[in-house]
Every structure is written in C-alpha cells, then in structure tokens.
Structure 1
C-alpha cells in the first residue's frame, strides 16, 4: 500500500485542502485513495509517535502507535484501497512552537524520523507546502495574536529576519529523516486555492473531483479582529496599526529581506535542491472561483534574478 503524507505547512491553506478531501472522500475512495485527516490522526491513531509525559516510555508509546497504524492500514487494504493520504500539519510541529522559537519547524527532522518508523518505513511520498516568509510569519503572528499570543515587539520581528531559518533548512532536515522518500514541494502562491492540483501532485490522479475546491478556510484574523481580541484580554490595542485589512507587522526593509530569503529558497528548489526534493509549480487550467493572492516567486529583485539565470 502506498502511503502519502501531506505535512502542511501551517498557514498554507491546509485546512481548505483537508475540507476538500473530506467533501470528496467517497469519490476518491472509489478510485482507491483513502484519506486520514485531523479527525482521524488526532483521535488517537498517531498518539505516542511523538511521546508525551506519562507512565509509559517513549519506546513503548511509539510501539503502540505502530500497532494502531498497522491495524488501520490493514482495514484500508481490506476495503480495497490502494493508497492512503495522511494530512495533518501538526506532524511537523505546532505553529505556536515556531513563534516561541522564532524559527521555522526546528524539530521537524526528529519528529519525522519517528513518523517514518511508526509507518514501518512504508511512506512513499511526502508533500510540503512552502510560502513566502514575509507572508507566512505575518499570517502565523496574526493567528497567534488572535489566540492569545503577545503582539510582537520590534526586536522580536528583527530576530525573525536576522536569525531566520529558511525553507531550505526545513527541507534538508525533512529529506534527511525520510531518506529515499519522494519529497514534493508545493509553493503556496501557486497551489493554495487549488486543492485538486495539490492532490494531483501528490497522487498522479488526473480525474479529480471539484466539489468544495474553492473554499478559503481558517484565514488569519484581520486588523479589526485582532484589535477586538487584544482588547478582550485587556491588552494594548495601540500596539497594532490603525486601518483595516490584513496585518503586516514587518516594515519595508524586513519584508524585502524575507522575500529575498524565499526567492533564494525557490531558486535552490528550481535548480534541483541537490537531489533532496522536487519543486512542483504546475497547475491546471484556471477556473472561475476565489483564489489566494499570488506572491513574488523569483529570486531577489527581478533584475538580479535574470542576471543569475543568464549566468
């Protein structure tokens, strides 16, 4: 049985993708594709892969998780499924941990090594969505502040820029933990509003359903919502800028630095990623519907990108 992991990341329309998969689960099962989303993975199936404090040792917890996963996969095979797609962005760590550490998924390698063992080395493909660091951190910060995280100070934002961990390092750790697994990287700017394109990249299935394919769920709160959330807990709403719409906490220079970092990541991926991963930017024909805004996907400023490409 082919096992495919969709790892998110957070803030890359993973909730919208999971809603699409649930809405079309029956039709996809008829094509031999099973789906485990958070409603399955967070209901005990994967408990213990990442150890929790308790009476049992980490080894015992992992062994029990392996048993549960094996039983669930045996049930899937008995139902005639040929492959199972597991989608849960928390497999690579919580977004709040990124905020606390000021880095993108610092523990992804160790975590995914445990998941590889839990699935008995049968993972065949892993899909990871990446997003421009300026918009990823802005979305993560807005989501965090809306959930009670402190509004970041200037020094906090500076650290995200100067001590930032890039997607290249995340992908390198992931590839090291999952040796021999096909690692597909999907830019958020191209695929966010197209769950069927992401599923095609993960599975190769061409005849895909379109039901619930243009929903945009779990959006980061806008400035008005953030002000209400901060005021409700007695915080200082003046820490947030005036105006409406999406909150952009970074200044112009910080945004340019983060955009340059993302452009470098995409350039590295487009050049082959040293054989560690493959970049998938292709999408199907456009259709009427609501899509997420596109972002910069060239290396640095446009002139610099062209010069490097010509060189």
Structure 2
C-alpha cells in the first residue's frame, strides 16, 4: 500500500441471520473491550432503521429507482457514509440489505436480490476510487428460504409458505448471477459458505477484521408452531412485539422449524446449490436432514 493511501473498505453482503449476527456482536464486543482503536465497524443496528420506509416509498413509486438508486446508500445509511469517509485505518460494513430488502428476495419473480446490480453500482459510486474488499455469504437455497420466510412473516403478511416455496424454487436467479454482478463492478469477492460456519463460526470475523474472536451464537428463529402462534394472535387483533417474540421463541425453542418443501423440491434445490457452488469455486458441504431456519 502506498504511503498516505486510504486502506480498503470491507463490505459484508449476502444472507446474514444467526451466524452473521453472532459475528457482528463479537466484533462490537471486541471493540468495546478495547480490542482495536483503528477499526470503524457498522452493522444493521446503524444501517437498517431507515431502510423500511425507503423501500416502501420505492415500492409505491418504482420510477423513483432511476433517481434514488445512485444516492441510495447515502439516503438510507448515513452511518455507512461516515464509515466510508472515515480516516481510521480499517473500515467494515456488514449489512445484507445493501443488496436489497429481504422480502424482495422472497416475492420478486426474478429470484434472489433482483436489484443487486443496480445497488452494487450505487455502492461503487459511493465508495469512489477507494479500494474495496467484498465478502459474500452464500447459503443453501432451501435453508435460506426458510430463514427469509420466518423473519419476514414477523414483519408483514406473506402467502402461505408451501405455495410460495414451490414458486420460489423455480425462480431463475442464483448465487452465480450475484457473483457475476459483484465481479463486474468490483472485480472479485471472498465467498463464505454459510453451512461451513457450523464447523468454523469465526470465519466471518477473520474475513472482516483479520482477528480470531470467540463467537457466541445468537438464538434460533421461531419454530413453525411459534410462527403459527404469531399469525393467530395477529389475526385476533393482538399486537405481537419484540418482547412477545422472545417469549414465544424461548417457550417453543425445542419445536421443529418451518419446513415448506416436499422431498423432491428440497433435493432439487440442494442439487442446484451444489452445482452453483462449483460454478463459483466453493466446495459444497455435505448436507443431511431438513432445512433450518436460523
């Protein structure tokens, strides 16, 4: 690196959930304990509050994309702007919504992160000539659908899981499409396979800050019965808040996760995932059993 040049910005994208939440918490705790005074870190707590209303506005008036996307990150994530312009030695952003709202990945007829190419170009414009390292998490399609659906159902009304799962399984976009879009804008990215984090939970932290930190896993998503309870209580007009969700999750923690795929569809998605991992140069994990919702 040339003397006086700005060090690279590190951006973590792709499916998050439990493993990434654990990594984000570990990094924050590490910094709070004085682990590094040369690191600026921004995660969902700072970035996400403005995204829901921004996405609703763009959904209501799709024509705004033409004007809004070039400045999307500056509008919705001022904390990200602060990190990019920071003079600190290392700067890390970890937020999957930079590629698109999670419900878009469920409901768009195109498939995962349908507007990623546009958002990546916006990210590149915001970063400017600064060198950037992108870290992308990829996940088995059936596992990711269950996680997305479980999270999204807590925030909005969705079609029944089995029907949406059947439609979603046939959508065209996959991880190779996203990797090609990243490479077209940024040249390359480091890929972390989500299933491998069970064996090596610290992989995300090492990729982001180059440090080995003990990871404490976050809790699992709501079980299928827990999600059904939330829906039933809301149909009765009851408000189910964050505290209620925590109580339901704790009470039903040993119950089975949501499982909307039949055996044939699940097998087809797993085969596709293995092929797609080979296309992007990642070793396919050995999967067994049903999808998980963490």
TM-score class, shorter:
0.7 to 0.9
**Coordinate RMSD, CA, aligned:** 3.6
How far apart in 2 are the matches of 1:58 and 1:21?
Answer: 31
Match of residue 127, structure 1, among 135, 145, 148: 135
Q: Which ranges of structure 2 fall in alignment gaps of 5 or more residues?
A: 1-6, 237-253, 289-294
Specify the SS of the correspondent of 1:233: helix
Which of 83, 96, 100 is the equivalent residue of 1:93? Answer: 100
Residue 68 of structure 2 corresponds to residue 58 of structure 1? yes
Alignment CA distance shift 1:215-1:155 (3 Å): closer
Alignment of 1:1-311 (within 5 A): 1-11=7-17, 13-26=19-32, 27-30=34-37, 32-42=38-48, 58=68, 61=71, 72-74=83-85, 76-77=86-87, 81-102=88-109, 103-152=111-160, 154-176=162-184, 178-180=185-187, 182-191=188-197, 194-203=200-209, 205=210, 207-210=211-214, 213-217=215-219, 219-234=220-235, 244-270=255-281, 279=282, 296=287
- Indicate how the Cα distance of structure 1 residues 12 and 108 shifts in structure 2: closer, same or farther if over 3 A, else same: farther
What is the CA–CA distance in structure 1 between the aligned matches of 2:267 and 2:73, rounded to whole Å?
Answer: 46
Q: d(CA) in 2 for partners of 1:64 and 1:280?
A: 36
- 1:134-170 Cα offsets, whole Å, 9 max, x none, are 1111221222233343352654322212224211112
Q: Distance in 1 between matches of 2:84 and 2:149?
A: 37
Aligned 8 A contact 2:19 2:217 in 1: no
User: Shift in Å at residue 13 of structure 1?
Assistant: 2.6
Residues 129, 186 of structure 1: 8 Å contact kept: yes
1:183 Cα offset (Å): 0.1
1:69 Cα deviation after fit: 6.0
Change beyond 3 A, Cα 1:266–1:86: same
Equivalent residue pairs, number: 255
Gaps of 5+ in 1: 236-242, 271-278, 282-293, 298-311
The structure with more radius of gyration? 1
Separation in 1, partners of 2:283, 2:269? 22
